[in-house]
Structure 1
Amino acid sequence: MYISVIIPIGHKEKNFELIEQLKKKFNNIEIIVVSSYQNSEAKVLEDKADHFLSIHNSTRAKAMNAGAEVATHDILWFLHLDSDLSLINEIDLENVDKEKINTFLLKFNDEKLKYNALGANIRTKFLGLPFGDQSFLINKKLFNFLGEFTEIIEKGEDHEFIWKAKQLGVKINIIDNYILTSGIKYNSHPVLQTFATLRDTVFQVFKFYKQQPKYVVCYFIKDPQSKKSKTRLREQIEDNFVNKLNENLIEILTDNINKLKNSKFTYQLTVSEKIHQNYGHKFSKITDGLYLTSQKDLGLSMKEVIEFNLRYFKKVVIVGSDIPLLTAEDIKNSLRASSAKNVFYPTLDGGFCLLATSDSNILNIIDKVNYGTDTVLTDLTKNVSKVLIENKFHQDIDVKDDLEKIYQSLKDKVYSLNTSLKKLYTLLYSNRKKFTE
């Protein structure tokens, strides 16, 4: 099994024995060191690690996220620098479950702290609440889906990450072996520190607990500057205009995302092809998570995304990024249609711009449809049951003729448009000759 090991280093940490231990004990690993820029001594690891990153104003969460982003293997292993892997062997890593967050049991390197370790292990076994010093091993796809570590949290980013996982129904897998860790923080006042740890744990339960969302909205996006986006339109109009148009459409999509953030039952996911992963990572900061699809074909991508998300949610909504008049309220309405397993919002060209489904049977046909034709919606709906087709047709943007239709729709309601739609109207108005001549 190939694993990317991610080790954050704070500005005062100086003991780097873990790096040598990893090199001696494990094969097929990639070592990623992410150091605080203030730690000049950590620079000795530049030649010993596969990747060495130095970060200004680093926090543990920021460092681990940066390491995950450059990792090249499917399994990520987040380790504290003071971890001791003496008791762990390569065979233990064969017990990693790719569908779960994997962790080890805990021992302190001070025998006087055995009851502290016992408490941590009971908490892990019976409450499913491991902490970062036990280390986390997680599939990169699952890590992105959970939305990385939250960087604005000053303390307890590992605890909050586990609560996010519990919220979505992601399970914990305990690998039956012990990771050793330093008990240095207990040296001065062991009893007081024990109670402080317990207090923080209880406080964080109330702070991080959230209800499990029932729905997921998946936004399919591409890098707006990429020539792989709006390819048919780019054949007809100059790239510079298409880039501006795409940026405007992304701004409209962002408005919808922000309006849905108050919905506690809705999870929002950025979906992007791997060729657009840099932009996808950036955009996913405003949603709850990221899914990178390995498929180039639209039907296969939708099948992959629906199949994955139906494991965790009651209903999956798929939304495009080029439907300027599709609103957050439209998305909410698609979730309210409880009597239909498949809800489609049609487009004027015979396709659809939104699909809300709770029907696993759609997986049998969604990749069989010939997308890009005017019979997409007809071909799909004749093969699925309990269908609702919304009685409102939207205009998507594929070719320059679509731009004139969007322009006229916006012109009819120009005085009631929000800021993002007014910007789109202004862009189309000032460039109208490009798509009408």
Structure 2
Amino acid sequence: MLKSSITIIVPFLPGEEGYLSSLFYDLRNCPFSFQLILSSPQSFKSFHLGMNEELTHSLNKILEKAGNQFQYVQAGPGRAVQMNAAAKLSSNGNYLWFVHVDSRISENNWQELHDLLQKDSSSKTAWYFPLGFSSHGNRFKLISFWANIRCKLLGMIYGDQALLIPRKSFFRLGSFLEDLTYGEDHDFVWRFVLAGGKWKSFSEAICTAGRAYGRNWLKLCFKRIYLGFKQALPFMGQFLLKGAETIDFEEILSVGESDLADSNQAKTAVVVFVKTPGLSSLKTRLAKDLGKMKAESFHVLSCKKIEATLLQAQIKLGVSPYWAVAEEQALEHSLWSGFPVKLQSSGGLGERLHHMYAHLKQEFEQIIFLGADTPQLSVQDLEEALAALQKGCDFHLGYASDGGYYLFAGKSPLDKSLWTSIPYSVSETGQRFAKALKEQGRLSEAKKVYSDVDTVKEYSEVVDQMYRF
């Protein structure tokens, strides 16, 4: 088992999906689990609808791998803004790995990373890769030769060398500076050194496309050398005159860390009812308009978004998340490896809900049920439900815009007859269920009404909210 974990952050611009497709192919070969965060000025809706079949297939394969997580953030303009926005969404891992979209990751690169993650991380050591190029020719050999000599002799390291930064140190130093006109990565390298940190190089080069070095490549090289020294010299002078300032990188807590909630909340199960692509038909109405692959891709992305939310809730609220799968063959499916898995019973939806509620009530005081197609759900929605139960309510219900409900929370027993008497998947499901619950105890209702996703119209509404921060 690895001692350290990693979040991979990839900033990209509209029109760079071709590079992203190649990078995704490399990410599929990663030998360990990771959190992937994409950051772009374009909305997630534009990105998802614009994905071609190859990109969609690769992303699905990445997400189906055990332990992998995914986030997307719309941010910009400016690469520093994009990377900082993504870093704020990172889970409480040890390293942030900033990878340019046109980078290619080899088997040897993965092996070196794997070897590093097997060790305890150090907040005072950051890493970079020697620079290589996917393109061939003498100009690229010359550029990479200079870049790697520059790093070793002068400590001038840049972002296209895939900076691997301890997460706590990144936030302790204030992230990338967003008001610089250039060189936010190079600036951070020097601030890390002046704070007492050390940069180490992996042995195997990471390759980039070299797309900027066209006909006027020599002029561009001299310009970048000039700007690099202009930025580095003040740092070099400060380092030579004053040396490094010793900063306690461990002083800052990881973003999002907090104590677990009280023991009452720690006795709460949160159950997400899901179907598994390839084993059950899903999103059939949506597939008629978007195509089967893209509809299944949305389902997987939706589940991963809910998983990310529940991981935060697990830390902040002390809840115990579960997947409730519809298929016995899916009990050990890699897509559901993030949480313990429960098998839904046979029968209609009412019977399955009753069985799961009664089963979990033997172990937990409070139960929350969620569907898989409301990825806009937040930790605050779960906090609201738990607060209602703590204040004396027996049940809490969040209504869906189509007349159903997206969240149910309860702490009091419910007979099977109540669950099976409700007509599901109709416009009055939510109201009929609420009326029945009020006859059993005190009911509170969620402030927000969410859309679930069965049609293209609902897809458009939800996907705009899915990764809005």
State the TM-score, normalizing by the size of structure 2: 0.43
- Asked which structure has the greater RCO (Cα within 8 Å, sep 6+), the reply is 2
State the TM-score, normalizing by the size of structure 1: 0.46
